[in-house]
Structure 1
Amino acid sequence: MSLSTRRAQPEDAALLLAMSRAFHDEDGSPLDAAATATIAHVAAGEPLAPAYLLEENGAAIGFFILTLGYSVENGGTDGFIDDIYLIPAARGRGLGQKAVGLAIEQAKAIGIRVLLLEVEAQNARAYHLYRKMGFADTKRRLLRRILVDGN
């Protein structure tokens, strides 16, 4: 079981979109038109949101997207694992932990000092995996406000 990662290329857009749709459908938050367009933009090489394919023996079995920010509190460049996904056939074999490890390695390689992520409240399995991988509760609530309607 050899898991590797590579930066997504424009020709990977359809694959990235298909996996992203599957991820969001499973999550109960299907992609809207704006999010669909954003995935194509990310695959084209958006510098603030590098996307990576996860491959097992050369076959794509998942992906993750890192988004970059800057934080005084975090001492500079911080990042967010915006999405991380493994296809159902790849689950239950320890690849989730390896995928998170690869995301951490890529984050370090591009200069991210602090890496953040969010996990659905009901996803205890993922929560425990992230805790095992060194992520800690921030004791804060993540809030959002949409500034531009993308539809």
Structure 2
Amino acid sequence: MNTIEWKWTEAGADDEGALFELIEAFYMEDQIELRPGPVRTALRALLREPQLGRVFLLKNSSAPGSAPGGYVVVVFWHSLEFGGRVALLDELYLAPAARGRGLAPRTLDMVGDWARREGAVAVRLEVNHHNKRAMEIYLKAGFKDDKRDILTLML
């Protein structure tokens, strides 16, 4: 049996095409409106300005050059409520080929460890109401549902 060895690596500018394919798949699956221009602009900024955050790509280390299995975007802000730098797990997507392998909990651990090393005091995330499976995974990993709604004003 050929076992896939998935490994998270920091994405670079040369990963933009593969990342955008994963972003398109995630947005379609999670019913998020994709605005390609702004998304590409924001992705490029993250890939070249590490002070904003990081993008991680899930690669199959046993088959170099194969399609990536997912991506994670983590960005930062400063919060009075939380007492300092907060990491926002902005996007987490595992492609179907990477699911069911225990990667989600390991990914959340990786994000938490990385954010702590970067000086974050908390990790926050948002999850769509219809994504019950993701909510179960996040709660099991120790995230708390603070019973707040997210409101957005596009500028």
The TM-score with structure 1 as length reference comes to 0.88
Q: What count of residue pairs does the alignment treat as equivalent?
A: 147
Q: Is residue 72 of structure 1 aligned with residue 76 of structure 2?
A: no
Aligned counterparts, 1:1-80, within 5 A: 2-32=5-35, 33-57=37-61, 60-80=68-88
- Deviation string 1:71-128 (CA, Å, 9 cap, x unpaired) is 0110100011000011111111211222222122221121111110011111111101
Aligned in 2, Cα 1:31/1:49: closer, same or farther, shift over 3 Å? farther
**Structure 1 vs Structure 2: percent identity of aligned residues?**
30
Distance 2:129 2:105 in 1: 19
- Deviation string 1:23-70 (CA, Å, 9 cap, x unpaired) is 111112242121232223323345213111122325531110101000
User: What letter corresponds to residue 73 of structure 2 in structure 1?
Assistant: I
Aligned in 2, Cα 1:45/1:17: closer, same or farther, shift over 3 Å? farther
Distance 2:108 2:153 in 1: 28
Q: Is residue 143 of structure 1 aligned with residue 151 of structure 2?
A: yes
SS of equivalent residue, structure 1 residue 41: helix
Distance 1:20 1:76 in 2: 29
Please list every run of at least 4 consecutive aligned residues from structure 1 whose deviation after the TM superposition is greater than 6 angstroms.
none
User: What letter corresponds to residue 69 of structure 1 in structure 2?
Assistant: W
User: What letter corresponds to residue 25 of structure 1 in structure 2?
Assistant: M
Distance 1:10 1:108 in 2: 25
RMSD across aligned positions (CA)? 1.7
Q: Is the 8 A contact 1:79 1:116 kept in 2?
A: yes
